[in-house]
Amino acid sequence: MAAAESEQDPSSPSGEFLSFSARDTAQRWLAASDLKQEVYRHLALYVPRILCQGTGGRDSREEQREELGCQLLLLAPLEWFLLGAEPGAGLAHLQQNNRPSALCGHVFKVGEPTYSCRECAADPTCVLCMTCFLGSVHKEHRYRMTTSGGGGFCDCGDTEAWKSSPFCQTHLPDGGEAPEDPVSQLSPDLVARGYSLFSILLKYAVDLLTGDQQDQQDRQDRLPEGLEPPERADTYFCMLFNDEVHTYEQVIYTLQKAVSCSQREAVSFATTVDRDGRKSVRYGDFQFCDQAKSVIVRNTGRQSKPLRVQVMHSSVVAHQSFALKALSWLGGIIQYSDGLRRILCQVGLQKGEGENSTLVDHLMLNDSKMWKGARNVYHQLLMNSLLMDLKFKKIFAIQFAKNYRRLQTDFMEDDHERLVSVTSLSVQLFTVPTMARMLMVDQDLMGTIIRTFVDQLRHRDLQGRFQFDRYTAQQAFRFQRVQNLIGDLKYVLMSPPDQWTDPLRIKFLEGLDAFLDLLRCMQGMDPVVRQVGQHIEMEPEWEAAFTLQMKLSPVISMIQDWCRSDPEVVLVQAYRKVLSMLSQSSGGLPDGEQPLSLVLAGHQVETFRYQVSQERVSIHLPLCRLLAGLHVLLSRTEVATRFPEQLPLGELAPPLLMELPLRCLVLCAQVHAGMWRRNGFSLINQIYYYHNVKCRVEMFDKDIVMLQAGASMMDPNHFLMIVLSRFELFHVFSSADARKRYRDNKDLVQQNTLIEEMLHLIIMVIGERYVAGIGQVQPLDEVRREIIHQLSIRPMAHSELLKALPENGNKETGLERVIDSVASFKKPGVTGRGLYELRPEWNKHFNLYFHHYSRADQSKAEEAQRKSRRQNGEDTALPPPPPPPLCHLLGSLVNLLQCDVLLALEGAVLQWSVEPGGGSWTESMLQRVLHLVAMALLEEQQQLENRCGEEDVTFSYTCKITRPGEAPSSSGSILALLESLQNAPHLEVHKDMITWILKTVGTIKTIRERTSTSSTFTVSQGAGPEETGRDRDKAERKRKAEMARLRREKIMAQMSEMQKHFINENKDLFQQSLEEMEASTSAAEYSSPSSALTCASKVCVGPRRVGGADLRQLVTCILCQEEQEVRGAGKAMVLAAFVQRSTVLSRNHTCTPEPGRDPVFMHPDLPVGVHTASCGHIMHATCWQRYFEAVQVKEQRRQQRLRGNTSYDVENGEFLCPLCECLSNTVIPLLPHLATPGHSPDPPSLEAWLQTTSQLIAALHTCRKTPEGELEGAEPVPEGFRLDFSPHRPFSSSISEMITTFSLAVFKVGLKVEPDEQDGRVPVVGWSTCAFSIQSIERLLLDEDKPLFGSLPCRQDDCLSSLVRFGSACWTSVPQNTVYTHFSRLLAVLVPDRRVENSPCILNLDMFHLLVYSVLSYSSLHSLDQSGRSSVDVGHLHLLHLVTVAHLVQVLLTCSTGEVCMDQDGGGSEEEQLTLQLYCFLRKHLSSLPDVSPWQLWSRVKAGILPFLRAAALFFHYLNSAAPPADLVAGPGQWESLCSFLSLPPNLLLLYQTHQDLLDPLVLSWIQHPGVPPLLRGGIQHPGVAPLLPGGRVTRFPRESNRLIELPEDYSVLINQASSFTCPRSGGDKSRAPTLCLVCGAMLCSQSYCCQTEVDGEDVGACTAHTFTCGAGVGLFLRVRESQVLFVAGKTKGCFYPPPYLDDYGETDQGLKRGNPLHLCPDRYRKMERLWRQHGIPEVIGHAQEANQTLVAIDWQHL
Ligand SMILES: [Zn+2]
Ligand SMILES: [Zn+2]
Ligand SMILES: [Zn+2]
Ligand SMILES: [Zn+2]
Ligand SMILES: [Zn+2]
Ligand SMILES: [Zn+2]
Ligand SMILES: [Zn+2]
C-alpha cells in the first residue's frame, strides 16, 4: 500500500475535473471519422487514472472520488454524445416520449417478497412484485408468498403468465397499443448515434470481460487494441477469485498469512470475494503481488485445488471495472426509452461471421469463465434488455436453445451456484408456453434437454442401465447440478398445449422417444437379491436412483397430461411407443424355459418359473408404470367405451405386462414378512419411498393400476393363481386338504403375513377405483377420498394434510377445493394450531383397507373409527364403503370377487378360523377375507338395485357361497362357515362384521325373491328374533364397556397418586405457559391471617402496623423431605432463585451502564435493574450445597468425556432446580417474620426525628477510634444513643452465610464484576433487587388490571417475601460503617447535608428505590438507639412521608406537557387547592413552570404517584408481614384504602401542609439544585453533576409501560422491509439474515461474519452483541426470512420460539416453506410480550434446551 501512495499523485484527476468538458468531448466525437478510435483513446487515457487506484483500506471518500470521476469524465461524455443535449434534459425528453410496454420487469433482490396467485398464475414461477401485487385483483384470491432467491423478475403485464388479470393498476395498458417498432419513434440522428455508441461500448465490455481465451497465461496483461495506456507503470493487483471448495475460515487464515493483514481485513476480503467473486488483496509491483500469489497457492493447494489467484496489471483491472460500469450504464439508459432498448437488443444480437458470432453469444459462452460480479451485471442487463422486448426475447431464446447443450456442459464444469449461471435464465424463457412450444418445434428443445441429461449420467451397467456407485460428495454435487436439466424439462412441459399442430406432434413424439430411452436406462436399475445366511457387507447405494425417480416423477406426470390432451393421435402413438420399448427391454423375463403349470379349483394356467425370494428384482420400473398411466388415459377416452377393439391393445400379453409390477409388490410383502432382514436398511428405505407420497403416484399407485389392467384382461382364476404363485403361497392353497393348516411349518408366521399381504393386494386390485379411468369418478373425488382417510386417523392441521397429498406440477394438491365439504375447522388458541375434523356424515366412506394407509395408520384409523361408532351407539362393523362403478375397459375386474379361486381362498381361511388360536390363522387374515366377502355382497346388491328392466344380473355371489366346499374336504359352504363363526367366542371382535355380512346376504336374498316372485312379505320375517338378539347383545356389551371404563379410571387415579416425581407433569404445565401457572394463585394464603384481624387495623407501616411475627412458617425441604420451621437461630432454608440484569422497565435501549457504576442512586428511567425470580422450591442450605457440589462434579466429568454445553453454566453458579428443572443461579435465604412493633408511648414527630437522625449522622461522621479502641466524636451524640454499640447478630451462622452467598451472587450478576465481600456496594445491590423486582411486578399487575394483592402465583409471592426479608437483614452481614455512609448519602438527597457532596437532584432519582434503600439501611442506624423510646417503625413512617413529599414535588415539576389548560370551574376540592398551593410555591422559584389548572394538577399527581404507592404497599406488606385490606386483595384497589394501608392521608398534600414550615426549606433546596433547571428545559445536565444517563431526558410520571415494538399485520410488509435492509458494515450489501429486535425495533445483520463484534474478548454475532446494549444480555428477535422468533440469553444460550404470525389455517410457518399469507396473531404476540416482561426468557430457553439437547449444541453467540 505504501508503494501506491508514492506513485500516484492523488490530486491529478481532481485537477482534470475542473478543466474537462463532457460537452466538448462529445462534440469532438461527433465530428470524428472513426468514432471507435476516438472513444477508445479517451478511455485508454482516463480509465486507468480514475479507477482502481490502490487496494484494501479504501475509505468512502476515495470511493466517492472514483465514482465522481467516473461519472464526470467517462459517462457524461457518453450521455452528451448519445442524447445530443444536456443529459438531464435529454433523458427527461426521452422518457416523456416513450410509450412503454406493459411489462413491469422489476428484477428481484435477494429476500424480496414475491407473490403468486394460485388461481390465476399459469405456473408457480409466475410472480408479482409487492407493488404490482397490492395493485392487482390477485390479493383477493388465494395466493402464495415467498422470498426471492435473487434474479428473476416481476411478470406483471405478461399475458402468457396469467390465466386472467395479467395487469396491475399501474401496468394496465391505457388503450393505445404500444408501437410495433419503438425505434421509429426516435429521431434518425439519435438512432444512428445509438447504434454506433452501443456497438462500441458493448464490444468494449464483451472484449474485456471475456478476454482472449487462447492464451490464458498472458491474459492479465493484454488489452484490446487501442486501449493500451499511454505509459505502462509497474503496478499490479493480486486478484483472488472465489470458489465453492474452500471455506471462509480457510480463506481468512490464508490471507492473513499471505498478505499479512489483520483478521478483520481478511474477513472483509473474504466477504467481498464471496459476494463479488473476486477481490484484489494486494497492490504493488509485479514481484510483490506474485509473492503473495505463490503463498496463497502453496497454502491452499495441499488438500484440494488451490485457490484461484491472478496477478493482473492495474490498467486491465481498471478497464474491467469500467466495463461493468458501462454495462450498468447501458442498462440504465435503456430504461428511458423502448426504442433505445430495441437498438441495444439489435446490437447485441447482430450476427457477425459464423455461428455464435453475436456479442450476446460471446457473453453466454464465456459465462462460466467470468467472475460472479461480472456475471451478475451482464445478466441484469440481459433481463433489462432482451427479456423485456418481446421480439428479441424470442430471438434470444432461440440462441439460448441452440447453445443449450454447451451452456449446460460449461455449467457442469463450473463450480458456482446456479443462480449466477446464465443457464438460470431458462426459467424466463421456457416457462412462456408459446416460446417453449416454438423452441420445441424449431430447436427440438425437449429432445435436446433429455439427451443432454442422459449424456451427463455416464455410468451404466452391462444391460445399459444407470449405475450409481458409492455416492461421493463430488458425485452428489455433480448430480445436483444435472438435476437442473430436469427442472428445465418441467418448465417446457408445464402446460399441455390447447392446440396441437402436426409439427408439434412430431417433435413431442420424438422427444418422447428420447425420454423413453432415458426411462429404459432406469428400468430395472439397482436390482436386489435376497440375502440368505449372512447380512450384506455394505449397504448398496440407493439414494441416487430414488432422487432421480423423484425428480422425474412430475415430468412423467406431465407427459401423461400432454398425451391426454390429444387422445386420438398422440396418446395412441405414445402407447404404442411405450409398449414396443417395453417389449424390447423386457429381456429380464426368461423365455424359452419350461413354463410352470398350475392347477387350482378346477382351473389351469401356465406361468414363469420365478421366485422373488431367489432371483433379482428391482423396484424401478418406470416403463411399466408409464404404460399403466397411459392405459388409464386410454380407458377414459370415448373410443374405449364405444369401440374398445380399436385400441392398440392387440399385442398385449397381460401376464407379461403385470409380471414386473407384481414382483415388486411381492417384494414389499416379503420385506414386510421379515424375509429380507439381512438386506439391511437400504432396502427398507427403498420400500418406504416406494409408498411415500413423494413417489407413490408414479410407483406404487401405477403398479396397482397395472395389476388392475392385467386382471381385467385375463381369466380371474388365472390371475389369482399367478398372484398366489408369485407370493410363493400356491402350495398352501392347492394341496388337496387346503382347509387344514400344517402347524409344524417353521415359517408359519412369515407365511401368515404373506397371506395377509396378498389378500390386501386383492382387495386393492378390486376396490381401488378412485382414479378417473379405472372407476367412473371426477378428479376431485380422489383428493376428497384421500382427505377423508387422513382425517379418519385423527383431526389434522392444514399443513399435515398437505404433506399427505401428492402435489401436481403446479404445486397444488386440490386440498382447498374439497376440504370444506368434508371437514370442519377448529381455530387454535394461544398455543397449538388449527385443526380440521372430519364431518361425521363422511364416516361411511371410510375404507379400512385404503391403499395409502401404512399398517400403523390403518390400526390408528380402525381404533378411532370403532371408538366413534361405539360412542354413537352403533355396531362396530367396518364394512367397505360402496365403490364407484368401474370404467368399461376394466369392467371385468369385479369377476375376481366371485371366481372359484378366490372362493377357495375364502373358504380355506374361514375354515382355519373355526379353531381358536394355534397360529394357523390370524385375525388380520380373517378380517381381510370378511372384507372381501362384504365387497362381493355390496357388488351384488348394487347390481341388483341398478339393473334396468328384466336383464339378468350376472353377479351371483350369494348363490356361490351357499355351495358346499370342494371335495374332498366337504366341510360346508362359506355361508355355513360364517354362520357357525358368528357366535364363536374367540371371534368376538369380528362378530359385528359377520352379523353385517349375514344381514346383507338376507337383504340380497329378499331382493332376488322380490323380483322373482314380486312378493315383499319375506323381508320383515326372520329379522324379528335376530334383531332382539342383537339388542340384547348390544346392551350386554355396553355394560361390559362401562365396567371396563370404571376400572380404567380407578387405575388412572391410583397411578397419578403414585406419581411423586412431578417433573414431567411440571414440564407440561410449563408448556401450557406461565400464565396458567399463575391461576394457582396464593390468594388463599391471606385468608388465615386476615380473618384474625379487623379491617380497620390494616396498616403496613409505622408504629400502628400489625405484624405477622406470630405466624409460624413450616416448610419442607424438597431434597430430604424433612419439615423445618424457619427461625433466625435455626438451620438455614433457601429458595432456588434466578438473578438477572434487566432493562425491561426502561424505555431507553441505548445505554450500557459501566460495571463500575455507583448503584446507590437509581435513575428514574430504571436503565438497568437486577431482577430476582424463583420457582418457589425450598431446600435446606446444606442439602442445596451438597446438591450443587454434585452437579459441579458431574459437570467436570462430563466435560472430560465429551465436549459441549449444558443448558446451564455451572461455572457461573447455574444449576437446575432439583424438582422442577427451572434454571437457577443462586438461592435466597428464608428469614423469619419481623417482630411486632413495640408500642412506644409518644413517638417523636417528624421534626424531632429528623433532628435526632441528623445529629446521629453528624456524630457518626466525625467519630473515629482512639488508639485505645474507644470511640470519640467531635459532635455530640443524641441522647440515648451509643455509638460503640454493636448489635447482636440475630441469625445463626448458617443463615448469615446464606445471606452473604445471595448478596454476592446478586452483586456479581448485577454489576458484572467479580464478587468481593469487602466492596461497599454489596448491600446496595441486594436492596436494589428488592426494589426492582417489586417494581416490575407492580407494573405487570397494573397493566393486566389485576388486584395488587392476592393475584400473584405462590412462587412469586414467596420470592418477594423472602427477598424483602433478606433485604431487611442485609445490613447484619456487612460492616456497620458502610451502611451508615449509605444512609447518610441517601438522606442527604432530601435533607441537605453539607458533608455529603454530589447529591443528585431529585429529578434524577427513582423515589421508590430511594425509599427501599433508606428504609432497609435505617435499621442499622436505629440499632444504636438504646433509649427504647422510639421504634424502628417510626423511622420507616417518617422516611415514607418524606420520600412521598419528594415524589409529589418530582411529579409536579415534570407534569407540564404544554397542553392547553382546560379550565375546570367550581370551587375546587381541598386536594386541588393544596396542590395548587404547593405548585405556586414551586413556580415562584422556577419561573419556567407553566400555568396548569388545579384540577389537572391534582389528577396528574394522583396518577403519577400511584405506582409508587402501590410498590410501597407491596414492599411494606412483605417487610412487615402485614395483611392487606380486602379491597386491595380482590378488587382494583381504592385510593383511600391504599393510602390508609400505608398510613397516609388520602389527601397526600396534607403531608406537605401539616409540616409546611419544616418542609418549605427542604423543597426549596431540592428545586434549587443546579441540576433542575437544565433538566426542565430538556437541555444538557449541569457539568458539576455526574450524569446518570446520557442525554439528560427528564422522566415523567407515571412512567409509560414498556412494550415490544408494534408489528405489521401482514407479514410480507416485514419481508419487504428486511429486503431493503443492507448490512451496515459491508457497504450496501444485502444482509443474508436480517433480524429484527422486538424490544427496540433495530434491524440487524445476523449470523454473518461481516457483523461480528468482540464482546468480552469473544467474537459474537450481531444479535448477541445487540442484547448487551439493548437488553442487558437478554434478547427477543424475529428472524425475518425464517419467520422464526429467536430468544437469546447470555452468550451461549438461546432457543427458537414460534412466531406470532399465523396463516389462515391457524399455523405458523417457521422457515417460510409453505408460503401461505401470514397475519399477526395479537394474542400470541401479547403472550410473548408478557413472557419478556415477566423476565421469563432465560427460563423458557432453559426448558427448551433441556427438552431438546440439539439446541445446546448450536452456537447461539454467532447469530
Ligand atoms: Zn411488478
Ligand atoms: Zn404491475
Ligand atoms: Zn388471481
Ligand atoms: Zn433437606
Ligand atoms: Zn423448582
Ligand atoms: Zn434492541
Ligand atoms: Zn453484516
The span from the CA of 1756 to the CA of 856, in Å, is: 38
Tell me the CA–centroid distance for residue 158 and ligand 1, in Å: 10
Tell me the CA–centroid distance for residue 132 and ligand 2, in Å: 4
Instruction: Determine what percent of the chain is predicted with pLDDT higher than 90.
Output: 37
The span from the CA of 311 to the CA of 236, in Å, is: 6
Tell me the CA–centroid distance for residue 629 and ligand 4, in Å: 73
Specify whether the CB–CB gap between 13 and 49 falls below 8 A.
Answer: yes
Q: In terms of Cα–Cα distance, which of 479, 371, 491 is closest to 429?
A: 491
State the pLDDT at residue 265.
83
Interval 180-205: pLDDT, tens: 788 888 889 999 999 999 999 999 99
Tell me the CA–centroid distance for residue 89 and ligand 1, in Å: 27
User: Is residue 448's pLDDT more than 80?
Assistant: yes
- Beta-carbon count within 10 A of 914 CB: 16
Cα–Cα distances in Å, from 1454 out to 590, 825, 1514?
Answer: 99, 54, 25
Kindly calculate the radius of gyration of the chain based on its CA atoms and give it in whole angstroms: 44
User: Is residue 1413's pLDDT more than 70?
Assistant: yes
Cα–Cα distances in Å, from 306 out to 245, 250, 300, 372?
Answer: 9, 11, 5, 18
The span from the CA of 1063 to the CA of 399, in Å, is: 69
Interval 1163-1210: pLDDT, tens: 888 888 999 999 999 999 999 999 999 988 888 887 766 555 677 888
Specify whether the CB–CB gap between 1637 and 1676 falls below 8 A.
Answer: yes
Q: In terms of Cα–Cα distance, which of 331, 329, 326 is closest to 345?
A: 331
- Beta-carbon count within 10 A of 676 CB: 22
1183: helix, coil or strand? helix
Specify whether the CB–CB gap between 1188 and 1215 falls below 8 A.
Answer: yes
User: Is residue 1280's pLDDT more than 60?
Assistant: yes
Q: Are strands 835-838 and 143-147 parallel, antiparallel or unpaired?
A: unpaired
Ligand nearest to the CA of 1671: 6
pLDDT confidence bin for 1155, thresholds 50/70/90: low
- Looking at residue 1701, what DSSP letter applies? E
User: Which of 149-153, 956-960, 1108-1112, 1734-1738 is predicted with the least confidence, judged by mean pLDDT?
Assistant: 1108-1112
- For the chain, the average pLDDT equals 83
State the pLDDT at residue 1090.
37
User: Is residue 472's pLDDT more than 80?
Assistant: no
The span from the CA of 461 to the CA of 468, in Å, is: 9
Ligand nearest to the CA of 1632: 7
Retrieve residue 401's grid coordinates.
436453445
Average pLDDT over residues 1049-1072: 44
pLDDT confidence bin for 1063, thresholds 50/70/90: very low
The span from the CA of 1687 to the CA of 1732, in Å, is: 10
Retrieve residue 169's grid coordinates.
393498476
The span from the CA of 1610 to the CA of 1604, in Å, is: 17
Q: In terms of Cα–Cα distance, which of 1614, 1254, 1611 is closest to 1442?
A: 1254
Interval 607-636: pLDDT, tens: 888 889 988 999 999 999 999 999 999 998
Residue-wise over 798-817: b if at least 16 C-beta within 10 A, else e?
A: bbbbbebbbbebbebbbbee
Specify whether the CB–CB gap between 926 and 934 falls below 8 A.
Answer: no
Tell me the CA–centroid distance for residue 1181 and ligand 4, in Å: 7
User: Is residue 1750's pLDDT more than 90?
Assistant: no
Tell me the CA–centroid distance for residue 1643 and ligand 6, in Å: 8
Tell me the CA–centroid distance for residue 1614 and ligand 2, in Å: 21
The span from the CA of 754 to the CA of 903, in Å, is: 18
Mutual orientation of helices 1494-1520 and 1407-1422 as an angle, nearest 10°?
40
Interval 1303-1344: pLDDT, tens: 999 999 988 888 888 888 899 999 999 999 999 999 999 888
User: Is residue 280's pLDDT more than 90?
Assistant: no
Contacts of 174 (CB under 8 A, 6+ apart): none
Q: Does residue 968 have a cis peptide bond before it, meaning omega lies within 30 degrees of 0?
A: yes
Ligand nearest to the CA of 161: 3
The span from the CA of 607 to the CA of 594, in Å, is: 9
The span from the CA of 1418 to the CA of 1424, in Å, is: 11
Q: Are strands 1653-1655 and 1658-1660 parallel, antiparallel or unpaired?
A: antiparallel
- Beta-carbon count within 10 A of 508 CB: 27
The span from the CA of 1593 to the CA of 1148, in Å, is: 10
φ, ψ for residue 1636 (rounded to 5)? Answer: -105, 125
State the pLDDT at residue 983.
84
User: Is residue 1461's pLDDT more than 70?
Assistant: no
CA dihedral over 504, 509, 513, 515, signed as positive or negative: positive
Q: In terms of Cα–Cα distance, which of 535, 644, 655, 669 is closest to 606?
A: 655
Average pLDDT over residues 254-268: 84
Ligand nearest to the CA of 153: 1
Tell me the CA–centroid distance for residue 157 and ligand 2, in Å: 6
Tell me the CA–centroid distance for residue 1740 and ligand 5, in Å: 14
285: helix, coil or strand? coil
Cα–Cα distances in Å, from 1429 out to 624, 1240, 1254, 1289, 1700?
Answer: 106, 6, 17, 22, 61
Retrieve residue 351's grid coordinates.
450476427
The span from the CA of 1332 to the CA of 1165, in Å, is: 12
Interval 532-556: pLDDT, tens: 888 877 888 888 889 899 999 999 9
Tell me the CA–centroid distance for residue 1661 and ligand 7, in Å: 9
Amino acid at 1156: G
State the pLDDT at residue 795.
94
Interval 868-906: pLDDT, tens: 989 888 888 899 999 999 998 898 999 999 999 999 899
Average pLDDT over residues 1067-1086: 38
3-state secondary structure labels for all residues of 65-84 = HHHHHHHHHHHHHHHHHHHC
Tell me the CA–centroid distance for residue 1356 and ligand 5, in Å: 12
Specify whether the CB–CB gap between 581 and 521 falls below 8 A.
Answer: no
Beta strands in 157-235 (DSSP E): none
Specify whether the CB–CB gap between 1603 and 1632 falls below 8 A.
Answer: no
- Beta-carbon count within 10 A of 293 CB: 21
User: Is residue 5's pLDDT more than 70?
Assistant: no
Ligand nearest to the CA of 1354: 5
State the pLDDT at residue 1032.
54
State the pLDDT at residue 1491.
80
**Torsion on CA atoms 813, 814, 819, 822, rounded to nearest 10:** -110
The span from the CA of 1612 to the CA of 1597, in Å, is: 38
State the pLDDT at residue 1036.
59
Tell me the CA–centroid distance for residue 1295 and ligand 4, in Å: 14
Average pLDDT over residues 1634-1647: 92
State the pLDDT at residue 897.
93
- Beta-carbon count within 10 A of 1491 CB: 8
Tell me the CA–centroid distance for residue 1646 and ligand 7, in Å: 7
State the pLDDT at residue 1472.
86
Tell me the CA–centroid distance for residue 1554 and ligand 4, in Å: 54
Beta strands in 1203-1300 (DSSP E): 1215-1216, 1223-1224, 1226-1229, 1264-1265, 1271-1272
Q: In terms of Cα–Cα distance, which of 547, 546, 575 is closest to 559?
A: 575
Retrieve residue 132's grid coordinates.
404490482
Cα–Cα distances in Å, from 1033 out to 980, 988, 1179?
Answer: 17, 11, 59
Burial of residue 1214 (number of CB atoms within 10 Å: 0-12, 13-18, 19+): buried
Residue-wise over 1311-1330: b if at least 16 C-beta within 10 A, else e?
A: bbeebeeebebbbbbbbbbb
Tell me the CA–centroid distance for residue 327 and ligand 7, in Å: 28
Ligand nearest to the CA of 121: 3
- Per the listing, cell 395479537 goes with 1722
Ligand nearest to the CA of 1132: 4
Ligand nearest to the CA of 1649: 7
φ, ψ for residue 341 (rounded to 5)? Answer: -60, -45
Ligand nearest to the CA of 1138: 5
The span from the CA of 1424 to the CA of 1287, in Å, is: 8
Tell me the CA–centroid distance for residue 95 and ligand 1, in Å: 19
State the pLDDT at residue 1271.
61
Burial of residue 242 (number of CB atoms within 10 Å: 0-12, 13-18, 19+): buried
pLDDT confidence bin for 1732, thresholds 50/70/90: very high
Interval 354-412: pLDDT, tens: 777 889 999 999 998 899 889 989 999 999 899 988 889 999 999 999 999 999 999 98
Tell me the CA–centroid distance for residue 152 and ligand 3, in Å: 20
State the pLDDT at residue 325.
93
State the pLDDT at residue 1706.
92
Amino acid at 543: E
pLDDT confidence bin for 21, thresholds 50/70/90: confident
Average pLDDT over residues 1571-1581: 67
φ, ψ for residue 307 (rounded to 5)? Answer: -60, 145
Tell me the CA–centroid distance for residue 552 and ligand 3, in Å: 29
* H helix or E strand, kind and range, residue 836: strand 835-838
State the pLDDT at residue 1319.
86
State the pLDDT at residue 1046.
57
The span from the CA of 652 to the CA of 838, in Å, is: 43
